[in-house]
Structure 1
Amino acid sequence: MRQLTEDETKTLFAKLAHYTGRSINNLIAPPAGSEETDAKDRPVFRVSGNRVYYLRLSIANLATSIPRANLLSLGTCVGKFTKTGKFRIHITALDIIAPHARYKVWIKSNGEAPYMYGGNVVKAHVGRWSEDIPEHSGVVVFNTSDTPLGFGVTARSTAEIRKLDPTAIAVFRAISENI
């Protein structure tokens, strides 16, 4: 495992900021007074192969004693870098990103199955959404009991979605993100 290069860090943080906004600071440096304030236990991002992992610094330091060929995974896999240098978020990052999401969409129970099977979220399935979501913003999709289901991108702003018919697409499912 190695640290991210400057270009990798910019690419990773740009993708994470698309979903979290300014709350990305809470992923890097937890707020003062939390249990993670110790410098050895601060969360870090590390790369193994082309995959990025999110883990505590103390665990990353312990992993240096394991040969790279024997180390399969460590921490939570956030995503991977493609051969072209782009970053793709994996669904395993949902538990990390969901508490810090800037924009959220809650879907009704009748919309959960179509979404989970790869469909987009239509207006009729939306129970509620965060206020003032701009067009083409990254959102985290929740069910009515606040369980995160996946990622998406808004088709239109919330003001425009309110005026549309019930069969209009409100959120595009980020299929390429959920590898």
Structure 2
Amino acid sequence: MRPLDENETTQVFEKIFKFTGNNLKNIVENPSHEGPDPSPGRYCFRLQRNHVYYVSESLVRRATNIKRDNLVALGTQVGKFTKGGRFHLTIQGLGLLAANAKHKVWLKPTSEMSFLYGNHVLKGGLGRITENISPGDGVVVFSMADVPLGFGVAAKSTQDCRKMDPNGIVVLRQADIGEYLRMEDEL
């Protein structure tokens, strides 16, 4: 497990910024109260086998006693780097994104299952949507009970959504919590 280099950090922060906006500051400066130290530590990003983890510094110090080959995971996985060197967010980071999301979409109960089966969010299934969403913005998808279901990229702006056909795509799905069942062999 090692710290991210400058290029990797830039890619991770750009991707997270797309979903959190200025709330990225809350993620980076979040105090950690884990460990034996009475003073709060910080959270940091670490890389292990192309997977990026969000973990407290206290836990990182304790994990140095474990051999790299034997360390499977540490903290919350936020994403991974592909073989081509690009960074992709994974569903395990949904809790972090949902707590700091800038743009949100709420689904009607009738369209939740469709989203959890891997489909995009359609206008007909939209319950609520935050204002000032532009095409290409990162969006976190919630149920009407404020349970985070996944995330994706806005296909249309908030204003365009009001004029759309009910079968028009509002959010292009990137990840959803249904992946835990669909891809349980890989996860």
Query: How high is the TM-score relative to the length of structure 2?
Result: 0.88
User: SS of the counterpart of 2:88?
Assistant: strand
Is the Cα–Cα contact under 8 Å of residues 40 and 57 in structure 1 kept in the other structure?
no
Structure 1 unaligned residues grouped into runs of 5+: none
The 5 Å alignment of 1:81-160 reads 81-160=81-160
The 5 Å alignment of 1:159-170 reads 159-170=159-170
Q: Offset of 1:41 from its aligned partner? A: 2.2
Is residue 5 of structure 2 the alignment partner of residue 14 of structure 1? no
- The 2-side partners of 1:40 and 1:143 are apart by 34
Q: Offset of 1:166 from its aligned partner? A: 1.2
Residues 35 and 72 (structure 1), Cα distance of their counterparts in 2 relative to 1, 3 Å cut = closer
Is the Cα–Cα contact under 8 Å of residues 153 and 171 in structure 2 kept in the other structure?
yes
Is the Cα–Cα contact under 8 Å of residues 108 and 125 in structure 2 kept in the other structure?
yes
User: SS of the counterpart of 1:69?
Assistant: helix
- Matched residue type, 2:71: L
- The 1-side partners of 2:68 and 2:132 are apart by 46
User: SS of the counterpart of 2:150?
Assistant: strand
Query: How high is the TM-score relative to the length of structure 1?
Result: 0.92
2:59 alignment partner in structure 1? 59
- Matched residue type, 2:90: H
- The 1-side partners of 2:120 and 2:67 are apart by 43
User: SS of the counterpart of 1:174?
Assistant: strand
1:70 alignment partner in structure 2? 70
- Matched residue type, 1:174: Q
Is the Cα–Cα contact under 8 Å of residues 79 and 93 in structure 1 kept in the other structure?
yes
- The 2-side partners of 1:40 and 1:56 are apart by 10
- Matched residue type, 2:83: K
- The 1-side partners of 2:4 and 2:125 are apart by 39
**Alignment identity in percent?**
45
The CA RMSD over aligned residues, in Å, is 2.0
Is the Cα–Cα contact under 8 Å of residues 41 and 58 in structure 1 kept in the other structure?
yes
Structure 2 unaligned residues grouped into runs of 5+: none
Residues 17 and 39 (structure 1), Cα distance of their counterparts in 2 relative to 1, 3 Å cut = farther
Aligned residues: 175
Is the Cα–Cα contact under 8 Å of residues 40 and 58 in structure 1 kept in the other structure?
no
User: SS of the counterpart of 1:131?
Assistant: coil
Deviating above 3 A after TM superposition, structure 1's stretches of 4 or more consecutive aligned residues are: none
- Matched residue type, 1:84: G
Q: Offset of 1:175 from its aligned partner? A: 4.9
